[in-house]
Structure 1
Amino acid sequence: MNLYPIKAGNFKLDGGAMFGVVPKVLWNKTNPADQNNLIDIAARCLLVEDGNKLILIDAGMGNKQSEKFFSYYSLWGNDSLDKSLQEKGFHRNDITDVFITHLHFDHCGGVVQWNNDRTGYELAFKNAKIWSNEQHWQWAIEPNAREKASFLKENIVPIQESGQLHFVSRDDNTFQKESDLGFGVLFVNGHTEKQMIPHIEYKGKTVVFMADLLPTVGHIPLPYVMGYDTRPLLTLDEKKLFLENAANQGWYLFLEHDAHNEIITVKHTEKGVRLKEVFTCDEVFN
């Protein structure tokens, strides 16, 4: 097995929204805001090469949205999914599976693209199975008012119509290995219904793709919960249990949204679980 970080782009989000009720004077220490109160956010995906499978975990927000849409997110840098795949020696058509942790646009938008004459949409990964789970899919196609702006029809309907959609075969909230993909999946429900957190056994380490359970290093303290979470009190409980296990087991936490810290470990302290070490992907994967 080989693991590769795939940089699908960078954007900015409102720091207050990213940290909920936590005062700026506190979160600004780890996630400094610009003059517009925006903080740096990455769309760092993960490519898993395992035998004849090439699995992409999440796909960024893509490039099919309008200029007005992208202006809300202050895109920055030169990273793109295609460029990053090419740097690792791969092409979109090589991908056998795309695993979507959840269907918010910044995680699944890159799965769908314009067709050649821009009259409609098509899947960007023509040879890949697209993985979600039935409970989250239903949640996304009948969105609540709070999440409606994150579940975009142009990201979801083309996947459903493609014939390439597959669901993982379980729906409980305990850690279990997904046999079709070769890695473990943990379901969590605080951020959105049935978000999936992959656990990958790699060279004697457990690498966990954190998605939106732990967006950045700054979110390690338990009360530091995003304003975007639909069930923030449940996030508190889920994060507490997860971080305790991560500290006990020495897991390596792959941060999808932290623009400046790629992989971390955590440890127990008198103040609770806190940051232990920061690693680059090269340090952990090579």
Structure 2
Amino acid sequence: MTLYPIQAGHFKLDGGAMFGVVPKSLWSRTNPADNNNMIDIAARCLLIEDGNRLTLIDTGMGNKQSDKFYGYYHLYGDDSIEKSLKTAGFSKDDVTDVFMTHLHFDHCGGSIQYNKDRTLLEPAFKNAKFWSNQDHWKWATQPNRREVASFLKENILPMEDSGQLHFTKLPQEDILKNSQLGFDIFFANGHTDKQMIPMIHYNDKTICFMADLLPTVGHLPIPFVMGYDTRPLLTLDEKEKFLNLAADNNYYLFLEHDAHHEIITVQHTEKGVRLKDTFTCHDIFNS
């Protein structure tokens, strides 16, 4: 197995929205804001090469929305999935599986693109299976009023129309063992229903793709929960459970949204689970 970080881009989000009720005087210590109260956010995806299978976890925002839409998110830098795949020695046509932790636009938007003359929407990965789960798919296609702006039909419905949509099994417990995709999955419901956190067994390590369960290092304290979460009290319990597992088992936490920290480990302290060490993807994937 070989792992590759895939940078799908960088953008900015309102720091208050990213930290909910936590005062700015606290969250700005780890996530400093600009003059507009915006903090740096990454769309760091993960590519898993395992035998003949090439699995991409999440796909960022994509590039099919309007300039007005992207203007809300202050995109910066020139990273893209295409460039990152090329650097790793692949193209989008090589990808066999696209696993979406959940279907919010900043996690799945790059899965669907316009055709060359921008008349039809089509899969950006024409040879891939797109993976979600039945409960989350229903949640996303019949969205509640809180999340309706995050579940964009143009990102979601073409997956089903293409015939490339597949559902992974649902767990009997929090962690689904031996999934169809070759890694374990932790299911979390606080941010959105049935968000999936991949747990990849790589050499002697467990690499956990944290998605929106732990967006940045600054979210390590249990009460530091995003304002975007639909069930914040549930997020508190799920974060605590997962971070305790991570500290007990020395999991390596791959941070999708932290623009400045790629992988971390955590440890138990008197204040709860806190940061232990930080690593680059190169440190872990090439060791």
* TMscore range, shorter length: over 0.9
Per-residue CA deviation, residues 36-93 of structure 1 (Å, 9 max, x unaligned), is 0000000000000001100000000000000000000000011001000001100000
Using the size of structure 2 for normalisation, the TM-score is 0.99
Question: Residue 162 of structure 1 corresponds to which residue in structure 2?
Answer: 162
Report the counterpart of residue 144 of structure 1 in structure 2: 144
Say which SS state the counterpart of residue 101 (structure 2) adopts: coil
Amino acid at match of 1:223: P
How do 1:48-197 residues align onto structure 2 when only pairs under 5 Å count?
A: 48-197=48-197
**In 2, distance between residues paired with 1:115 and 1:27?**
42
Structure 1 distance, partners of 2:2, 2:272, is 33
Conservation of the 8 A alpha-carbon contact between 1:168 and 1:178: no
Contact 1:184 1:200 in 2 (8 A): yes
SS where residue 127 of structure 1 aligns? Answer: coil
Distance in 2, Cα, partners of 1:143 & 1:170: 20
CA deviations 1:101-126 (Å, max 9, x no partner) are 00000000000000111112000000
**1 CA distance for matches of 2:178 and 2:247?**
24
Residues 10 and 40, structure 1, Cα contact 8 Å, conserved in 2:
yes
* Distance across 1 between alignment mates of 2:172 and 2:121: 33
Task: Report SS of the residue matched to 1:233.
Answer: helix
Q: Secondary structure at the match of 1:278?
A: strand
Residues 121 and 178 of structure 1: is their aligned pair in 2 closer, same or farther, counting only changes over 3 Å? farther
Q: Alpha-carbon deviation of 1:177?
A: 2.5
In 1, the alpha carbon distance for the partners of 2:266 and 2:15 equals: 23
Verify the 8 A CA contact 1:99 1:130 in the aligned structure 2: yes
Is the CA contact (8 Å cut-off) linking 1:215 and 1:257 kept in structure 2?
A: yes
2:6 alignment partner, SS class:
strand
Maintained 8 Å contact 2:18/2:226: yes
CA distance in 1, matches of 2:158, 2:127: 15
Identify if the C-alpha distance between structure 1 residues 171 and 177 changes in structure 2 by more than 3 Å, giving closer, same or farther. Answer: closer
Deviation at 1:170, TM superposition (A): 1.9
Give the structure 2 partner of residue 198 of structure 1. 198
Q: For structure 2, list consecutive stretches of 5 or more residues without a partner in the other structure.
A: none
Per-residue CA deviations over 1:181-211 (Å, capped at 9, x if unaligned) read 1000111000000000000000100000000
Contact 1:45 1:60 in 2 (8 A): yes
CA distance in structure 2 between the aligned counterparts of 1:15 and 1:63, rounded to whole angstroms:
24
Q: CA deviation at 1:173?
A: 4.2
Any stretches of 5+ residues in structure 1 without a counterpart?
A: none
Q: How does 1:247-262 map to 2 (within 5 A)?
A: 247-262=247-262
> How many angstroms apart in 2 are the aligned matches of 1:13 and 1:164?
32
Q: TM-score, normalised by structure 1?
A: 0.99
1:33 maps onto 2:51 in alignment:
no
User: Which moved further from structure 2: 214-223 or 167-176?
Assistant: 167-176
Distance 1:119 1:75 in 2: 25
Partners of 2:168 and 2:179 within 8 A in 1: no
SS in 2 for 1:207: strand
What is aligned with 1:229? Answer: 229
1:124-157, CA deviations, whole angstroms, 9 ceiling, x for partnerless residues? Answer: 0000000000000000000000000000010011
| Corresponding letter in the other structure for 1:202 | Y
2:130–2:159: 8 Å Cα contact kept in structure 1? yes
- Over the aligned positions, Cα root-mean-square deviation in angstroms equals 0.7
Q: Determine the C-alpha separation between the residues in 1 that align with 2:176 and 2:192.
A: 19
- Relative distance call for 1:67 and 1:178 in structure 2 (3 A) is farther
Give % identity: 70
Letter aligned with residue 147 of structure 1? E
**1:275 aligns to 2:251 (yes or no):** no
- The separation in 2 between residues aligned to 1:157 and 1:90, in whole angstroms, is 26
Give deviations 1:250-274, integer Å, cap 9, x for gaps: 0000000000000000000000000
